[in-house]
Structure 1
């Protein structure tokens, strides 16, 4: 999860973070990685504290090659 800081002057309710979740000025909260951009694009309200982690690349597995018969 990513982390952002609320910059607004008054507490706000952020339903996405939980039912009736109130975020106070200067509070750092965790947000889902896939929603991070929706917060930090609002530069007057939110700032980045910790960006989402890069997804790990899946390990590629190759099929075994058939052995040649002599």
Structure 2
């Protein structure tokens, strides 16, 4: 989860956070996917902790020699 600080002047109720009331200068956790939706409102939200890039790191692929073709008997 990402974190943002509410910098508005009055408390605000945020439906996306379960109708939670957020106080001025309070830091709250928001879903990573919605982080940009908060910080684009620069008059009321500022970033504190950006979303983590939680893409899995691909495992190394072990190269193996190709199998030898089987000989067919006539």
- Please indicate the TM-score interval, normalised by the length of the shorter structure: 0.7 to 0.9
- Structure 1 portions without partners, runs of 5+: none
How many residue pairs align between the two structures? 68
For residue 5 of structure 2, give the secondary structure of its aligned residue in structure 1.
Answer: strand
Q: 2: distance between equivalents of 1:21 and 1:47?
A: 18
Larger Rg: 2
Runs of 4 or more above 3 Å deviation: none
TM-score, length-scaled by structure 1: 0.82
When the two chains are superposed, the root-mean-square deviation of aligned CA atoms in Å is 2.2
Corresponding residue of 2:8: 8
Q: 2: distance between equivalents of 1:61 and 1:51?
A: 28
Structure 2 matches for 1:1-70, cutoff 5 A? Answer: 1-18=1-18, 20-59=19-58, 67-69=67-69
- Structure 2 portions without partners, runs of 5+: none
